[in-house]
Structure 1
């Protein structure tokens, strides 16, 4: 017990609650000395009242049994809600809720004996969260019940306990890499590390589909807090679109081709022949140009292989399921951000093609140079990870804490 000096307005009531007893003092002086527990009482400048809080949740406890009895008695005496709140030293909302439903009142409030978030509880939650089959806060909650621990009703308590170690992140998508595919990627990465491959002599090629309604995934934009979020179209199959094929080198972009209809081996060979793509690549890069094609069915067809042999084109052996090593995939992302900047959508395919061409022409050589400069590190990371996916570590996103 400690002694406190409390300044109280003349005629005001001091309302204290300690160990279930209500103490009301009607002061006659401006300054008076009141002895009370600092942990269970709190004085204000206008009306000193007690506010009891739960140690675990910080939520105010409802009216006690004695306060409820006094409230109902004062109500039977025809006192108003405001007058009752003043006399018992509680808020009008608390009094109104008690009088509106006295039987159901205080059922949803926190209990003073609720589970406290102590270091021991945090450790138990953290140990369960580390288990390989636990991915969400709800699974941690269920595991606590199974192991016999005191249950935690609020999922936010679990999230708070592990917030210093885990964070909510989107799990990045990666190709289905089996053990055999990882071994092939590892052998490929070690081979190019030993050979010290000249990546500047390699031309990267790939195809990309653009939709009229925007890229696949979420649409996000900055808006004022009081403003409405703008609507975006959502049509079947993205409202249609177009497919492009591109080729880049360390010295800059080489060619962009719009594919009409489905992408077949015959169309691919026709494009390479009519647009003289291979010779244009040799003119920009040099006579020792190496062409990179992923393992798409079109590019591995017999027709395409025969054409490449006739043209004496040297092809780079590429491991399957390796989009993380293909830098033109990153270029498509840069291009898509330019095309769909500001959550832009398109009505016609012609309008979309025009926007793609403008974005393609805006790409300068330093963009390609930065992408090519990242190749040695990608190869090194692939070798260090034993052929695993290199664009993002999946282990750090394992625990999503989704409810």
Structure 2
């Protein structure tokens, strides 16, 4: 059954013939006409004809009688339509769904629609931001997830997660949500495809940051366009201080993505001299880095403070980064194995179908 057919069913379910029309149904029925013939004569659905006749036999009237208790605002057909619609189009809004129902005569509020979908296990969630991936990248992610999913929690607690992000002075925080069920965050239809950020300029700044299970580490503003040499200087100034502050111990692991300045010949040589244990990392995989969640937290809290200039933007960023609760960091890292399991489930399906 198509969405259009479902909407027509909702319309007819809500159709209430006027009293005179219902009286015509009973008159025709008494003359020996069957449901099908009456429906054709009066252009009323056969199910509605049956409902009128059964009610007349039970109550002896075609008048609308007062009901008992609170009636459901949405029929089972309407609920079925809502579920089907959001499963196919997770980014549809409650207001758009309300208008769909209104067009076929079912008047409910957007809040009623949200409540109904929650009862059906469909919740409005912020979409996970994932990169546009080639089949090769998908297979690389899958291999990474499979080879690391059984790592002990102690290993993940000793990882220093790092990344860069662009913070905009008047950046729009896209609050459009997706309707999805629990544990379906990484299905492709429930994610928001992204591309790698560019350099900061004008009303924005670039930030390098790090964190671990024990909390946030150093946050550093990138001046101009970062190259390999500047990247090495940032690491030199911030990494070991963060490792010490977060008490990661001697067996800690350094995480970075595969940005060209991170993997350049000079940076690889520099890291080799440092002797840090480097976590292997698949290309185009910010969705595997839990620091992305903290960047999102940071951008929301900074936006609330409405910085007026770049100086305030940087000051608020440092302030809010330091305020991120340790529990938030710990939760992100402790759930990392679950994240890998979810990625394995999704990537297996996507790579086998591509």
Q: Check 1:382–1:241 CA distance in 2 against 1; reply closer, same or farther (3 A cut).
A: same
Q: Distance in 2 between the 1:171 and 1:211 partners?
A: 20
Cα displacement (A) at 1:113: 4.2
Corresponding position: 1:204 with 2:161:
yes
Secondary structure in 1 aligned to 2:268? helix
- Equivalent residues in 2 for 1:139-288, closer than 5 Å: 156-157=103-104, 173-196=129-152, 198-218=155-175, 240-273=203-236, 275=237, 277-278=239-240, 280-281=242-243, 284-288=247-251
Q: Does the aligned pair in 2 maintain the 1:201–1:289 contact within 8 Å?
A: yes
**Partner SS for 1:385:** helix
Please report how far the alpha carbon of residue 56 of structure 1 lies from its aligned counterpart in structure 2 after TM superposition: 6.1
Q: Secondary structure in 1 aligned to 2:261?
A: coil
Q: CA deviation at 1:249?
A: 1.5
Whether contact under 8 Å (2:91, 2:176) holds in the other structure is no
Q: Highest Rg: 1 or 2?
A: 1
1:181 and 1:257 mapped to 2: Cα distance? 29
* CA distance, structure 2, for counterparts of residue 295 and residue 333 of structure 1: 21
Does the aligned pair in 2 maintain the 1:291–1:315 contact within 8 Å? Answer: yes
Aligned residue number for residue 293 of structure 2: 330
Shift of 1:346: 2.5
Matched, 1:365 2:326: yes
Q: Does 1:382 align with 2:343?
A: yes
Q: 1:388 to 1:354 in 2, by over 3 A?
A: farther
1 or 2, which has the higher helix percentage?
Answer: 2
Partners of 1:157 and 1:185 in 2: how far apart?
46
Contact kept, 8 Å, 2:218 with 2:238, in 1: the verdict is no
What is the CA-CA distance between 1:211 and the residue it aligns to? 0.9
Q: 2: distance between equivalents of 1:192 and 1:55?
A: 55
Q: Does 1:350 align with 2:307?
A: no
* Structure 1: 4+ residue segments shifted above 6 A: 114-118, 132-137, 162-171
Q: Separation in 1 of the partners of 2:285 and 2:337?
A: 15
Residue among 288, 291, 299 paired with 2:262: 299
Query: Offset of 1:360 from its aligned partner?
Result: 1.5
The change in CA–CA distance for 1:154 and 1:386 in structure 2 (over 3 A counts) is closer
Q: 1:191: how far off?
A: 1.4
In 1, the alpha carbon distance for the partners of 2:299 and 2:264 equals 29
Aligned partners of 1:282 and 1:289 also within 8 Å: no
List per-residue Cα deviations over 1:317-336 (Å, max 9, x = no partner): 01222222211111111212
Contact 1:200-1:249 within 8 A present in 2 as well: yes
Unaligned ranges ≥5, structure 2? 1-10, 19-41, 49-76, 93-99, 108-112, 178-199
The alpha carbon displacement at 1:175 in A equals 2.1
**Correspondence for 1:9:** none
Tell me which of the two structures has the higher relative contact order, counting C-alpha pairs closer than 8 angstroms and 6 or more residues apart.
Answer: 2
Q: What secondary structure is seen at the aligned counterpart in 2 of 1:340?
A: helix
Question: How many Å separate the matches in 2 of 1:209 and 1:113?
Answer: 62
The aligned counterpart of 1:34 is none
Return closer, same or farther for 1:56/1:175 CA change in 2, 3 Å cut-off: same
2:95 alignment partner in structure 1 = none
In structure 2, how many angstroms separate the alpha carbons of the residues matched to 1:359 and 1:134?
35
- For the 8 Å contact 1:56–1:116, the answer to whether it is kept is no
SS in 2 for 1:298: helix
| 8 Å contact kept, 2:164–2:207 | yes
**Alignment root-mean-square deviation, CA:** 4.6
2:90 and 2:328 mapped to 1: Cα distance? Answer: 38
**Alignment partners' CA distance in 2, 1:133 and 1:219:** 16
How far 1:357 sits from its partner (Å)?
Answer: 1.5
Query: Structure 2 length as normaliser, TM-score?
Result: 0.57
